[in-house]
Structure 1
Amino acid sequence: MKGKKILYVHGFGSSGQSGTVTRIRELLPGTEVIAPDLPIIPREAMALLRDTCDEQCPDLIIGTSMGGMYTEMLRGFDRILINPAFRIGETILKRNMLGKITFFNPRKDGAKDFIMTKHLQEQYLEMCGQCFSGITDDEQDRVFGLFGTDDPVVDTYGIFSQNYKNALRFHGEHRMNDTVLMHSVMPVIRLVDDRQNGICRNIIYISLEDTMERNGIPMPSMMKTYRYLIEKYDVYIVAALPDNDSSYPVRMQEWTFDNLGVPAYRKLILTNRKDLLYGDYLIDACSNGGSADFMSTRIELGSETFKTWEDILEFFSRLNGQ
């Protein structure tokens, strides 16, 4: 995202001075991050965001919680919605949030708190009713929803997936921490950036069996290498498709989600013909399933040249994306 602009839309009771904004700026030092304090009144917040979009033309909008609800309605931009609170009007009542609300973070106007009235809650309810209108095919491709599996505050995965196709789950709760930002949000930012720049990365296939795990547990050295590779390459996971085990594909899906998370979204390939894969590299520990006849560069884990994942990491570090 170097030289680009990100508009960050904060959640309920927060501000543009949140720790998340600071962390995004640290991780993307070449990016301008715009993070206004939202007015408490929903229609004023929406007006401010639309004016900001018109003036700043952000390359990407990231909204969390209530900010995700607002972000969904900012048509015409690439957007990432993190635990979007599409039912914030209902949530205010369910969580007994009427009355005095103290801001989580400092605000530029110096306000410390505000009063949530029933009338204001009804305005939030009305604003939520404006979501998901006029979604085009282009919008489908430009919006990503990220949903924590252990979010105790909101659960809007279902309503999002009914309206958009890019609904992703991640291991985490409602508030975004460093782990979620690094391993779930940043990969999606990288995907958006590549698409905007027209970048097609070299493809690496990694055979799951006997390569990525032992007795269902991922090897630490593999995870270190995998996290490096996804920053430089387009990485896919390959697993066999046994004839006599119909539950195997589901177990492989669960394994990739549990251990690799968001970066493995739609990156699992089930095949018994690795020789038919079209790409640049195949990392494998055996020669069956067509692996030995892979048409491009085959990296054999456990061989004299690539005895360990550390050897593979060193090899690709020298290539640096080539």
Structure 2
Amino acid sequence: MKVIYIHGFNSAGYGDKVNKLKQFFGDENVISINLPYNPEKAISLLEFLIRNIKNEEPLLLVGTSLGGAYTIYLSYKFDIPGIIINPSVRPSEDLKTEVGKQKNYKTDEEYEFKKEYLDFLKKIEIPITELQKVKDKLYIYLDEEDELLDSRETAEYFKDFYVKIFPGGNHRFQHMDELLEDLKSKKEVRYG
């Protein structure tokens, strides 16, 4: 089984969550890259990876924040399991205030987040009624004290889905060990 980790806005494809995934699934089974800032290019790259892996072996997507939004879209499009952590369910709205100059907090790279990126993000927001088709493949994990995205709102949005809320924590998600422990009981997720 291969795992594609999809990082969030202004983040990168390395860090604590990736390290824990590698410990759990095996170093060689976790793919995690720094995605382009342009969401259309990021999705295009992720689709390329998925197409080249999914026919060879089972595949699992794990995404956080904006990466959670990407995971929702890609899980729906390719009908593959997705672990969604503190997701942005409406990235075209959530990121409106971020248009303009940005600095990636992990890489220190400076770039511009453009208004037209929001238009593309709107196109990949799948209505909850459509997501019902992959309901058994989406697993939502939330930190209750997420300071950027309202975890209660997200839980309500996904009320008919598998949702696990951990007390405390924050937007960066402090419960990766508990999430992985929870996955152990879900063979259908672990083996795609």
Q: Which position in structure 1 is the counterpart of 2:92? A: 89
- Check 1:100–1:35 CA distance in 2 against 1; reply closer, same or farther (3 A cut): same
- Secondary structure (helix, strand or coil) at the match of 2:93 reads helix
Q: Which position in structure 2 is the counterpart of 1:116? A: 113
Distance 1:152 1:128 in 2: 24
Report the AA paired with residue 172 of structure 2. R
Aligned-pair CA distance for 1:11: 0.4
Aligned-pair CA distance for 1:129: 3.2
Matched, 1:101 2:96: no
Q: Once the two structures are superposed, what CA deviation does each residue of 1:261-316 show, in whole Å capped at 9, x if it has no partner?
A: xxxxxxxxxxxxxxxxxxxxxxxxxxxxxxxxxxxxxxxxxxxxxxxxxxxxxxxx
Identity %: 24
Distance 1:196 1:98 in 2: 36
- Secondary structure (helix, strand or coil) at the match of 1:60 reads strand
- Check 1:87–1:196 CA distance in 2 against 1; reply closer, same or farther (3 A cut): closer
Greater length-normalized contact order (CA 8 Å, ≥ 6 residues apart): 2
Report the AA paired with residue 41 of structure 1. N
Unaligned runs of 5+ in 2: none
Pairing 1:113-192 to 2, within 5 Å after superposition: 113-124=110-121, 126-132=122-128, 134-135=130-131, 137=133, 139-155=134-150, 156-161=154-159, 164-171=160-167, 172-177=169-174, 180-183=175-178, 185-192=179-186
Greater CA drift, 164-173 or 78-87: 164-173
Q: Once the two structures are superposed, what CA deviation does each residue of 1:117-173 show, in whole Å capped at 9, x if it has no partner?
A: 33333433x245335463355x22111111221111112222222xx4212211222
Contact kept? 1:73, 1:132, Cα under 8 Å:
no
Aligned-pair CA distance for 1:5: 1.1
Matched, 1:60 2:55: no
TM-score, length-scaled by structure 2 = 0.81
Matched, 1:32 2:26: no
- Relative to total residues, which structure has the larger helix share, 1 or 2? 2
Report the AA paired with residue 21 of structure 1. V
Q: Which position in structure 1 is the counterpart of 2:188? A: 195
- Check 1:40–1:195 CA distance in 2 against 1; reply closer, same or farther (3 A cut): same
Report the AA paired with residue 143 of structure 1. L
Distance 1:10 1:196 in 2: 19
Q: Which position in structure 2 is the counterpart of 1:318? A: none
Aligned-pair CA distance for 1:196: 6.0
Report the AA paired with residue 99 of structure 2. L
TM-score, length-scaled by structure 1 = 0.51
- Secondary structure (helix, strand or coil) at the match of 2:13 reads coil
Pairing 1:196-235 to 2, within 5 Å after superposition: none
Point out the structure with max Rg over C-alpha. Answer: 1
Matched, 1:44 2:41: yes
- Check 1:48–1:88 CA distance in 2 against 1; reply closer, same or farther (3 A cut): same
Aligned-pair CA distance for 1:44: 1.9
- Check 1:32–1:119 CA distance in 2 against 1; reply closer, same or farther (3 A cut): same
Distance 1:115 1:196 in 2: 36
- Check 1:31–1:166 CA distance in 2 against 1; reply closer, same or farther (3 A cut): farther
CA-based RMSD of the aligned residues comes to 2.4
- Check 1:33–1:40 CA distance in 2 against 1; reply closer, same or farther (3 A cut): same
Aligned-pair CA distance for 1:17: 2.3
Aligned residues: 181
Distance 1:182 1:50 in 2: 28
Distance 1:190 1:73 in 2: 24
